[in-house]
Structure 1
Amino acid sequence: MIRILSAFVLAIFGTLSAGSANAADPAPRLADAVPNQYVVVPGDTLWDISARFLKEPWRWPEIWRMNRAQIKNPHRIYPGDVIVLERDAGGAPYLRLESKQRPQIRAESLSQAIPPIPPNVIDPFIATPLFVEQNTLQTAPRIVATQQDRVFLGKGDTAYVAGADPAQKQWQVFRNGQPLYDPEDPKRILGYEAFHLGSATQMKPGNPAVFEIDTAKQEIGYGDRLVPAVRPELVDYVPHAPDQKIEGRVVSVYGGVGSGGRLSIVALNRGGADGVEVGHVLALERNRTVVQRDEDDRHQNVVIPAVRFGLVFVFRIFEHVSYALAVQSDGTIEVNDFLRTP
């Protein structure tokens, strides 16, 4: 995972490059009390470093003066490197990287490069299924019996599964999870948040097939369903603002909690079919309605204007749902909050 993240290290700072930014966009705003230089230290993330220089951290390449071709293979930043803020002849600010170590080829492992975000936060959500499309589990192979004298199964136990593809060895075990309703259409179920129980290996094909439980996060038993274990394809992506207008809502805060904050994982009611891409940066806006009483003591709903309070970036997408990490939040993230192109 760190290798994948390191492949676009500078990119988390940026969205539209100098060569592709909309001419109508105002220039990136420097942060208050912006430093003239910053020395990178172990434990830094690129997003936090960017926020030291810019009020809009994702627009880093615009003052780094990188174009999209360069961003595809960006420089890597390492502890000890110095980021310097300078100005050109016209007074426009730009950033320059000074390396304290200048071999032609770096000897450090990729894991020593500064990651865009804390990799330990996002890695479990890359490796573990998050979402199951509607009706997927109803037709999935299921456990029809457990090994003798066992009601529930754990690591190393045997399960007997009906309907399993004999060519598929590795599987994930699920139970019907919480439905995700579209806030814009409360009767529409987008799918189910995956109630992931563990993983299993098909040891002997058949009907039922013999499976061995590899991992068990929860008790596994009769009726639980299996889905082929396919790790999502990871691409070298550049976090960026969408080129088109995207508007959506927060469907859930992962983990079944009602609210979240910075570094929370949130589900959006927009996915690949709606133009959402892995790497999109979206703005969080508060969606509030206050119930008051009017002069006649009748209930009155007052819609409070949306106020931007954070940023997320998308790291996994499905057809109509996507998952994003809250990289910035000045308040509590709640279900039904707005997500928009920043």
Structure 2
Amino acid sequence: MIRRSLRPRPAGPLAGAVRVGAGLLALAAAATATAQATLPVTPAQRSTAQQVAQQGVPFEELAPDAPDSYTVKSGDTLWRISGLFLRKPWRWPELWGMNLADIRNPHLIYPGQVLWLDRSGDRARLRLGQPVGGGSNATVKLSPRVRSGPVGNDAISSVPLHLIAPFLNEAVVFNTDELGGAPRVVAAPEGRVLMSRGELAYVRGDLGGLRDWRLFRETKPLRDPETQEVLGHEARFVGTAEFVRPGDTVATADGKAQVVPATVRIISNREEVGIGDRLAPVPSRDFSSYAPHAPANPVNGRIIAIYGDALSAGQNQIVSLNRGSADGMERGHVLSLWQRGATTVDRSDPDRAVMQLPDERNGLLFVFSVFDRVSYALILQVQAPVRAGDRFTQPD
């Protein structure tokens, strides 16, 4: 079973002061060597930043109404701020060239920081701070601020995490139907067959000493819309439970072995827990940030389904994609969404020729969870309802 999670991992304490002209993306901090080794900067992002650190972006890549300066607010996201300055928000590394010797993490952006657009020369760059005095050659004055507590607690996120957080435990793809051999609910106190939050449930199977569990019901195959190949198995999320006591095997009066099931307590439930529901461990939390970025190579795939079995979806809903890590898909990828062209008849033709209308660009997707051959994505922008079979590509 493959599990991935996106919850941010708290970083180490902030130390050091802001450096002048270091670029947008952080307070200059001296993080621990361990933290620096695990910072979520992809090789492609770092390469782009290195290439443009002294170049900036052409003015035509700026949004038509890009502000001269902007003060970061609570609730802002990397995506929203990028969209204020750029026509294509996923191209943020090209605008935010980093001084990589000083700035190790491009995601430490905090409410209250002032970003200003440097239009000097023939290209634009984004800076941290604000110009003092007038003219394009004005110096930049920065005042360090002391922050208590761990880095990352108040840093802005890449996209609105509250939109995808509910799906980090729920939207899970299994490579095979391995839930068939997972621990299962076999009974409840007082002969009940349905259990809710706070109630006990009895379980058979190896719980392995783990404390936290998710509950799933029957899995369904996720089939490629084009080939009908099974790419994975999506399980129906029921709720969560915690371990109470282990099971055992005891001898009866006549010397026969008798099973005593383990006990768990239902902590939360999307629907009532039933006999036969299967248990899977809760994955470890990954609190590292991730940034929107375009795929390095061309991508072409189809939407498998709307999460939750809806027939269509709109903005801020979740879809499954028929591409995964085996196809080069990464968490943070931004994809163009295309609406499938309709089949229609040429009414001006006496022969009523059948026509296939071309696909039309319909919005943007943000990939937040990646499995071997399947990914889940959030619909960031959309014009018309999204349906299974709609196409996605790298953003144009």
TM range (shorter): 0.7 to 0.9
Deviations 1:244-281 (A, max 9, x none): 22221111222322222332222111111111122222
| Larger gyration radius, structure 1 or structure 2 | 2
Matched, 1:149 2:153: no
Deviations 1:100-152 (A, max 9, x none): 97225434764333322222112222243433343122222222222223121
Does the 8 A contact of 2:158 with 2:289 survive in 1?
Answer: no
1:124 aligned partner: 166
Does the 8 A contact of 1:17 with 1:59 survive in 2?
Answer: no
Report the aligned-residue RMSD: 3.3
Matching residue within 275, 278, 288 for 2:331? 278
Where does 1:40-51 land on structure 2 (aligned, <5 Å)? 40-51=72-83
Q: Which one-letter code corresponds to 2:230 in the other structure?
A: I
1:97 aligned partner: 128
1:175 aligned partner: 217
2:134 aligned partner: none
Return closer, same or farther for 1:72/1:314 CA change in 2, 3 Å cut-off: farther
Q: d(CA) in 1 for partners of 2:149 and 2:7?
A: 13
Deviates more, 1:67-76 or 1:191-200: 67-76
- The CA deviation at 1:239 is 3.0
Deviates more, 1:127-136 or 1:98-107: 98-107
Using the aligned pairs only, state the percent identity. 39
Deviations 1:78-116 (A, max 9, x none): 333222122233x11111121697225434764333322
Bigger strand fraction: 1
Where does 1:1-342 land on structure 2 (aligned, <5 Å)? 3-4=8-9, 17-19=48-50, 29-66=61-98, 72-74=104-106, 76-89=108-121, 91-98=122-129, 102-103=143-144, 105-107=146-148, 110-186=152-228, 188-202=229-243, 203-206=245-248, 207=259, 208-231=261-284, 233=286, 235-292=288-345, 295=349, 300=354, 302-342=355-395
Q: d(CA) in 2 for partners of 1:313 and 1:75?
A: 17
Deviations 1:53-94 (A, max 9, x none): 1111011121222377877512633333222122233x1111
- The CA deviation at 1:174 is 0.7
Deviates more, 1:246-255 or 1:38-47: 38-47
- The CA deviation at 1:176 is 1.1
Q: d(CA) in 1 for partners of 2:379 and 2:143?
A: 35
Return closer, same or farther for 1:142/1:20 CA change in 2, 3 Å cut-off: farther
Q: d(CA) in 2 for partners of 1:213 and 1:154?
A: 6
2:17 aligned partner: none
Unpaired runs of 5+ residues, structure 1, are none
Q: Which one-letter code corresponds to 2:97 in the other structure?
A: R
- The CA deviation at 1:229 is 2.2
Return structure 1 stretches of 4+ with deviation > 6 angstroms.
Answer: 5-12, 67-71
Tell me, what secondary structure is at the counterpart of 1:288? coil
Does the 8 A contact of 1:3 with 1:111 survive in 2?
Answer: no
Return closer, same or farther for 1:256/1:101 CA change in 2, 3 Å cut-off: farther
TM-score calculated relative to the size of structure 1: 0.83
Q: Which one-letter code corresponds to 2:378 in the other structure?
A: L
Q: Which one-letter code corresponds to 1:143 in the other structure?
A: V
TM-score calculated relative to the size of structure 2: 0.73
Does the 8 A contact of 1:20 with 1:68 survive in 2?
Answer: no
Q: d(CA) in 2 for partners of 1:2 and 1:168?
A: 20
Q: Which one-letter code corresponds to 1:102 in the other structure?
A: S
Q: d(CA) in 2 for partners of 1:334 and 1:97?
A: 41
- The CA deviation at 1:220 is 1.2
Q: Which one-letter code corresponds to 1:215 in the other structure?
A: S
Q: d(CA) in 1 for partners of 2:128 and 2:301?
A: 37
- The CA deviation at 1:284 is 1.4
